[in-house]
Chains A and B, each alone.
Chain A
Amino acid sequence: MTADYSGTQKLNYLNNGFTLKSWLLTKDHKRIAIMYLITISLFFLAGGIFAATIRLEMLTPASDLLQTGTYNKVFTAHGILMIFFFLIPSIPAVLGNFLLPIMIGAKDLALPRINLLSLYIYWIGGLFTVWALLQGGVDTGWTFYTPYSTTFSNTYVMAVGLGIFINGFSSILTGLNFIVTVHTMRAPGMTWFRLPLFVWAQYATSLVMILGTPVIAITVLLLAIERFAQVGIFDPAIGGDPILFQHMFWFYSHPAVYIMVLPGMGVISELISNFSRKKIFGYEFIAFSSIAIAVFGFLVWGHHMFVSGQSIYAGLVFSFLTMVVAVPSAIKMFNWTATLYKGSISFDTPMLYGLGFMGLFLIGGLTGLFLGAMGLVVHLTDTYFVVAHFHYVMVGGQVVAYLGGIHYWWPKMTGKMYSEFWGKISAMLVFIGFNLTFFPQFILGYLGMPRRYASYPEEMQVLNIFSSAGASVLGVGMIMPLIYLGHSLIYGKPAGDNPWLLPGLEWRTSSPPPTENFEVMPVVTWEAYEFGEDSGLDLEAARAREAAKV
């Protein structure tokens, strides 16, 4: 298991061909993941710049930096880029693509050509959307509510809609590929209940992807046809029903929230267990709670429509189901906490992100219950309380988990170790900056500040300044990894095959892994997260070995 410092470069997926063609026509899931990583980072940067613009505008009560129309386009662009082009593909397409086959002991995903196709579809959909945003953008909000989007908005609704339509098929194909791979590609001995929980989370996410995404595809298509032909089923002027659009939109977009957070929960299960050096508490409960979230997630979309004309009886049912869907998330939280108990915890950078996730997701999840309560939501709907809630889940949950996962698997993906010192600083900056940005927004929302306006009353300025200040700290925390991870690519120390001394299959192959992942096909004879006495993974013994060598 020790690293090979002899200087001879082993053949791995990175040095197996250097031409552009060897990348663009690759069927290797690891290369596809790296190309996803680069593209997604660009979209994250673009979405982040729009976020910074929003926070700059909100420094002052008047709409002085941006005109109100431009402001609408800026927050729409922020939402669309972040949700459809960063959050949804983030963990599945980068970490899932890279690690899922390795974690189950396969040479590749089951359908490598489909995998490459999904990357190309993502690129085409992304280019289409970026082109439309450059042409003048769209001002409907990422929700595209009708009839504003079909009849009144004078912006590039159709072009952006089609970009999202195209992009949807990328996520469908990724989900399809993961489901097939988990079913058929597991190595001998890798039973369902030996799968790492990251794989379970990816599987549950994939179910949501193939069941939900086609519905948003057809909805956006109907929207585009309606806008183009000026006739359709969402137009109240001829007897159509705009609420139907909201039903169809949220039938996907609520489960999409779980596409955005379930993979993050998978990463956290890995981090918490591995950095406590302890078998995870309640493996089966965490595994099945992922599936439960995927299933119940499809039954709660109506809680986005409590005040938009849905019947109150439907509202009652949706409110109840919203409480139900919180249970599996709570099960995960309890199990992670129990795993930490009496664990041998080390506070490496990934673990800092992991613990940060637990704090932030706790707040994000609990405030979700406020918004699922039918009475309270009348006061809170469409305020900054909602904004703060979903940022706590999306950024505090998924983005933090994504960054944690990137740090955790960086030595495996690149073979290089990043600077632990700067890693810890950035993890803490992200945590502090995030809370400073979004906690004031809970208070603002409770005080009644509505979302999506470029101006606000003067008495709300202090909290808004806190929020904008926090955003700049958060921004620094997010940009730092770009620098020290990039730096580590060239100057980083060789990581060795198993820098964290962990039992998972991905740590039993070389770093970076060879093109077909393993020299010899592995046969799995151990349970997941096994840190037993005889596993050879005793941290102190390993440190003693290293010391003896020196």
Chain B
Amino acid sequence: MSAHSETEKFHYHEPGLQHQFEDMQQQEESVSIGMWMFLVQEIMFFGGLFTAYLVYRSRYPMAFAAGSNHLDAFWGGLNTLVLIVSSLTMALTVFYAQKNNRNMQVLMIVLTMFFGAVFLGVKAIEYTDKFDHGLVPVAGWNKRVPAHAGESHAAVKPCWEVDHNAPAEEHPNPRGEFQFTDCSLVKQAQDGNYLTAAERVGYFSNGQIDGNKFRDKVRIFYYLYFVMTGLHALHMVIGLGLMTWLLITAWRGRYNEDYYMPIEMSGLYWHFVDIVWIFLFPLLYLLGRHFMH
């Protein structure tokens, strides 16, 4: 394990060697274990969120299905693809560092950053869409759509007959609140007799489907959606910061076959953030789509 038996033989100091280590191998081992421990810590951090997601999804599957159906699986799928390709370019950066190829290193870092930026751009488009459709779970943080005079008859319909695919203008939202008017899935589950025990309490008032109570459960889904994807996006932004630093140092020709730990460690982080998304995408976008498609 501790690999510094032949210590005092010579005093040549390799350029990247920190003073507390005896040799490069010891330093690389330390940095690598440190990074893995950091990722373990990250797993526990996201693990709390995944636990919360699983608890509420198993309690209110219909509300989560309804929420999922208002996420765009195309954008989510595109982002999955983008991130997987960025993982490839990241891995190639390590490869070219090992091959002493500075130009390809720089190119691959730029490509990785490009894909990272595309991911965040798509995320921004999706968030804007949620903002426009009253799906941000915080009161006042949605687009304010003034109510039209003379169209109040739309609210009389029971919530399971509301056409949620109608344009946003037809859902007045003067105070920018969270809105979710379509509870057809509850009706469907009630008729098919597959509501969970929690749902039989959570969606109904006096034996009737209560649109407001159902909306609150969908709101829990969107709360989790924003916290989970938001923290993931924050990790992407930090990743882009790391990439900027790598780009500058790689441009200066810092990395070669003898010294590429910073690239490899940043790569571990980048892959980890990708893997989190690989779990987020099916959980948030795909589960429950068959109820409506």
Contacts and interface: CB of A to CB of B under 8 A. Distances in A.
Interface of A: 106-112, 114, 172, 175-177, 179-181, 183-188, 190, 210-215, 217-219, 222, 225, 229-233, 238-241, 244, 248, 516, 521
B128 interface: no
A229 B216 contact: no
13 contacts: A172-B41, A175-B37, A180-B30, A180-B33, A181-B30, A183-B1, A184-B33, A217-B45, A222-B227, A225-B227, A238-B220, A239-B216, A240-B220
Contacts of A181: 30
B38 to A, nearest CB: 6
B20 A188 contact: no
B219 interface: yes
Contact of B37 (A112, A179, A187): A179
B2 A111 contact: no
B245 interface: no
A238 B51 contact: no
B5 interface: yes
B48 A114 contact: no
A213 B41 CA distance: 8
Contacts of A210: 37, 40-41, 44
Interface string B1-30: 110110110000000001111100010011
A214 B45 contact: yes
B241 to A, nearest CB: 16
Contacts of B220: 232-233, 238-240
A97 to B, nearest CB: 14
Contacts of B213: 239
B43 to A, nearest CB: 8
B60 interface: yes
A12 B202 CA distance: 67
Contacts of A232: 220, 223
A183 B56 CA distance: 40
B56 A233 contact: yes
A477 B37 CA distance: 40
A459 to B, nearest CB: 45
A215 B37 CA distance: 15
Nearest to A228: B138
A180 B37 CA distance: 8
Given A172-B41, A183-B33, A239 B202 contact: yes
> From DSSP, what is the main secondary structure of chain A's interface residues?
helix
B20 A219 contact: no
Interface string B186-210: 0000000000001000100000000
Contacts of B29: 183-184
A233 B2 contact: no
B262 to A, nearest CB: 13
Contacts of A112: 18, 20
Interface residues of B, number: 48
Given A179-B37, A229-B138, A521-B8, A238 B44 contact: no
Contacts of A238: 216-217, 219-220
B166 interface: no
Contacts of B8: 521
A222 B30 contact: no
Contact of A180 (B34, B42, B216): B34
Nearest to B37: A176
Residue among B20, B46, B49 having the largest count of chain A Cβ atoms under 10 Å: B20
B2 A184 contact: yes
B224 interface: yes
A110 B219 contact: no
B155 interface: no
Contact of A215 (B1, B18, B45, B216): B45
Given A184-B2, A190-B2, A231-B137, A212 B44 contact: yes
B34 A231 contact: no
Which 7 A/B pairs are nearest by Cβ-Cβ distance?
A218-B48, A214-B45, A238-B216, A108-B20, A214-B44, A110-B30, A186-B2
B292 interface: no
A69 B19 CA distance: 54
B139 interface: yes
Given A110-B30, A229-B138, A231-B139, 11 more contacts: A111-B31, A179-B33, A180-B37, A185-B2, A215-B48, A218-B46, A219-B48, A231-B219, A239-B216, A244-B52, A521-B7
Contacts of A240: 56, 220
Residue among A185, A190, A211 having the largest count of chain B Cβ atoms under 10 Å: A185
Contacts of A186: 1-2
Given A110-B34, A112-B20, A239-B220, A211 B44 contact: yes
Nearest to A186: B2
B227 to A, nearest CB: 7
B158 interface: no
B138 A185 contact: no
Contacts of B20: 106-110, 112, 185
Contacts of A244: 52, 55
A354 B76 CA distance: 59
Interface in B240-283: none
Given A176-B41, A180-B37, A231 B223 contact: yes
A233 B41 contact: no
Interface in B55-88: 55-56, 59-60
Given A210-B41, A214-B44, A184 B26 contact: yes
A176 B48 CA distance: 20
B47 interface: yes
Contacts of A114: 34
B19 A107 contact: yes
Contacts of A214: 41-42, 44-45, 47-48
Contacts of A225: 227
B254 to A, nearest CB: 18
Nearest to A226: B223
A172 B34 CA distance: 11
B11 to A, nearest CB: 13
A110 B40 CA distance: 18
Contact of B138 (A108, A187, A231): A231
Residue among B4, B42, B202 having the largest count of chain A Cβ atoms under 10 Å: B4
Contacts of A230: 138-139
A213 B37 CA distance: 13
B132 to A, nearest CB: 19
Contacts of A239: 59-60, 198, 202, 213, 216-217, 220
A190 B44 CA distance: 32
Nearest to A215: B48
Interface in B152-193: 178
A244 B49 CA distance: 11
B81 to A, nearest CB: 28
A109 B26 CA distance: 12
B52 A215 contact: no
Nearest to A225: B227
B284 to A, nearest CB: 15
